[in-house]
């Protein structure tokens, strides 16, 4: 009986060890599977991050190009405005110069007319 109990106990221990080995193998397989899934998720996350970074770079390049274009257009507009202002100032100076010239000519004409009248008055006074 003792031997039989010993054999049964030994068989039970062997069965328990076999079950434990099966459980360890299942746990190991599950851990490996979870590790593989974790690696796959990390790779997918990295791919998504790379895609997002690429999209952001494209967007930033687009904004940079638009910003450069806007800056160029602004500079052109500013230059055109400065040219327009300079042209307007030049035209104003030309008008003022023309008015001054006209004034000087009118003053000169008036002075010549006055001189002619004075000369005529003097000749008339001499004739008398």
| Cα 98 to Cα 106: distance, rounded to the nearest angstrom | 12
- Per-residue pLDDT of the chain (128 residues), as tens digits, is 788 889 999 999 999 999 999 999 999 999 999 999 999 999 999 999 999 999 999 988 888 888 888 888 888 888 888 888 888 888 888 889 889 888 888 988 888 888 888 888 888 888 87
| Structure tokens, 97 | 């110069």
With residues binned 3-state (H G I as helix, E B as strand, rest as coil), the percentages for the chain, rounded to 5, are 100, 0, 0
């Amino acid at each position: 009986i003792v031997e039989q109990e010993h054999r049964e106990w030994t068989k039970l221990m062997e069965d328990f060890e076999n079950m434990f080995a099966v459980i360890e193998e299942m746990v190991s397989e599950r851990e490996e599977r979870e590790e593989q899934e974790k690696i796959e998720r990390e790779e997918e996350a990295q791919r998504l991050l790379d895609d997002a970074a690429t999209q952001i770079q494209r967007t930033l390049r687009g904004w940079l190009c638009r910003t450069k274009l806007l800056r160029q257009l602004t500079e052109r507009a500013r230059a055109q405005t400065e040219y327009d202002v300079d042209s307007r100032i030049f035209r104003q100076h030309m008008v003022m110069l023309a008015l001054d010239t006209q004034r000087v000519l009118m003053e000169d004409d008036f002075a010549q007319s006055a001189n002619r009248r004075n000369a005529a008055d003097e000749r008339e006074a001499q004739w008398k």
